[in-house]
A and B are shown apart, each in its own frame.
Chain A
Amino acid sequence: MKYILMMNTMKAGQDVPAWPQKDLQAHIAFMKGFARDLGQSGELVSAEGLAFPDQARLVRAGKDGTPITDGVFPEGKEFLAGYWIVDVESPERAYAIAAKASAAPGPGGAPLNMPIEVRPVMSGPPPEML
């Protein structure tokens, strides 16, 4: 079963975090180790980190289909910071992986407990045979 783990950051945290160097390094090291562990457990399908939200553009098609771009969307409360897609044996395992990412260290090394949205990817088993 495949699941996407979406890491959301609050709008307040959309900018480059202004943490002490030591805490930033610890956070980056944690994320690297997290990705490495997932790779080694044979569960990682893909993972991407996204640019900071000030680089985001909202696009709609204009009358003739040309793109009309808009700046950052101020109404958004949370932004997708990155995601992992994992292939695991059970939803519980996906939740456990998400909880681990959620507890990434923040300022002072304290766990951030970020919200991670976990949702099945539409790759479920085929309909049961009769």
Chain B
Amino acid sequence: MAPDRLDSPTERLLRELAPQVLGAVIRRFRDFAAAEDAVQEALMAATVQWPREAVPDNPRGWLIQVASRRMTDHVRSESARRRRESQVALEAGSTSRVAETADDTMVLLFMCCHPALTPASAIALTLRAVGGLTTAEIASAFLVPEATMAQRISRAKQTIKNSRIPFQLPSAGERAQRMRAVLHVLYLIFNEGYTSSAGPTLRRDDLSHEAIRLARIVRKLQPDDTETTGLLALMLLTDARRRARTGADGELIPLAAQNRELWDQEQIAEGVALLSSALPRGAVGPYQLQAAIAAVHDEAIRSECTDWPQILALYDLLKRMSDNPMVALNHAIAAAMVHGAKRGLELLDGLNSDARLADHHRLDAVRAHLLELAGDCDGAIRHYRAAAAKTANLPERDYLVLQAARLVSEPRPAHKGE
């Protein structure tokens, strides 16, 4: 039922309006946590009422009115307990109305993606307050009970309240850092949905689409931020391969073995166009570089046509910019594709001492792949199995175990022996 709801025109309209309505209600009542609850209730009322009756002439105004009524009820019931404080809140609401800005959605995003929150809390709060998803939908996407997700969201709101983050745009000095936090949360949401999993309700891959939708909104609000454009391009260029990434039973299909006819050419074209518009416009950041790498992959008609020297050059740049060990691993793969497996394995040896990779399955998986390319089947089998033992992702474990089994059953070159 949930996917239908997410796709219906009413649902789309409601989710587009959600952050605008929330912004208006917060400005009026100055209480983020309560306003967020009130807007959720208004959205749910609309979900029931609008399809049955009609969408009101001014849907935004309707939602603000319903949510404000809930807020007034909330303030009244609070006043039974805390008379004095609520009076202040009511007065503040009626007298000092801050000038309405078009930036409400951005302010909300900065708030929900605040560095004071853990990533899991920021993700949940962003999906609800900015994405307009219900707690039940978010819970089912993350495969946790609704009550657990409700607690997570309410604690996140409490954290925001306690740290007294004001409902306003961050100062110019803070802006860049806070913008990075917003993009990172969107990137994490996209990644959560990057693995496909079957389920009766909201599918995890809907999260990728939601991340893309939110990135489009941010780009509209911050058209000059080239990293936002880079992130949107990266998402589109990666998501374009979705249908080819997994087989009928959800098994992983690596890039080199994917049926490229299944790639979404329209999405690739959009991603490439976005990237081309961003690249000449200033400092090139990590999202743009990752998007550029994805674009080079996407533009290869066959796996053998991949422009690996170009990818290697991009990873060289990316490596200089970020200390991420995963970047170093991918750089080693690109180097192996350009200069041979031996070069890639040498680079991997240099990563052995990186504590962040010590227990990581990906180091073993890449080593196994390069050992196989180098013709060392026994070594490859050993490292495929070591990687399988370390990963916490079931489709990936199946893939790695099967790689090892494939090598065991393959006829060996005569000189290797059994």
Spell out A's residues near B (CB within 8 Å): 1, 39-46, 87, 89, 120-130
Contact = CB atoms under 8 A, between A and B. Distances in A.
A89 B118 contact: yes
Which secondary structure dominates where chain B touches chain A? helix
A128 B396 contact: no
B297 A130 contact: yes
Contact of B194 (A46, A124, A126): A126
A123 B144 CA distance: 11
Nearest to B330: A130
Contact of A89 (B120, B238, B330): B120
5 contacts: A39-B151, A41-B155, A45-B145, A123-B143, A129-B290
A42 B396 contact: no
Interface stretch (B69-77, B272-280, B387-395): B387-395
A130 B148 contact: no
B152 A42 contact: yes
Interface in B90-146: 118-121, 142-145
Contacts of B330: 128, 130
B149 A42 contact: yes
B326 interface: yes
B148 A45 contact: yes
B142 A87 contact: yes
B148 A122 contact: no
B255 A122 contact: no
Given A41-B155, A129-B238, A130-B330, A124 B393 contact: yes
Contacts of B144: 45, 87
B191 interface: yes
A40 B238 contact: no
Nearest to A44: B148
B393 A39 contact: no
A107 B88 CA distance: 54
Contact of B191 (A1, A45, A126, A130): A126
B147 interface: yes
Interface of B: 118-121, 142-145, 147-155, 191-192, 194-195, 238, 252, 255, 290, 293-294, 297, 326, 330, 362, 391-394, 396-397
Q: Which 8 A-B pairs have the closest CB atoms?
A: A124-B392, A42-B152, A126-B195, A42-B151, A122-B394, A124-B393, A120-B392, A126-B194
Contacts of A39: 147-148, 151
Given A44-B148, A121-B392, A129-B191, 18 more contacts: A39-B148, A40-B151, A42-B152, A42-B154, A43-B152, A45-B143, A87-B142, A87-B144, A87-B148, A122-B393, A123-B393, A124-B396, A125-B393, A126-B195, A126-B393, A127-B252, A128-B362, A130-B330
B362 to A, nearest CB: 6
Given A126-B194, A126-B195, A42 B148 contact: yes
A125 B252 CA distance: 14
Contacts of A46: 145
A65 B378 CA distance: 39
A45 B140 CA distance: 12
Contact of B255 (A40, A44, A130): A130
A129 B194 contact: yes
Nearest to B149: A42
Contacts of B293: 130
Nearest to A93: B118
Most buried by B among A1, A39, A42, A89: A42
B155 A42 contact: yes
A34 B118 CA distance: 22
A118 B256 CA distance: 36
A95 B56 CA distance: 53
Contacts of B297: 130
A39 B149 CA distance: 10
Most buried by B among A1, A46, A127: A127
B193 to A, nearest CB: 9
A39 B396 CA distance: 30
Most buried by A among B144, B153, B255, B396: B144
Given A129-B191, A129-B238, A130-B330, A41 B396 contact: no
B82 to A, nearest CB: 23
A23 to B, nearest CB: 31
B392 A128 contact: no
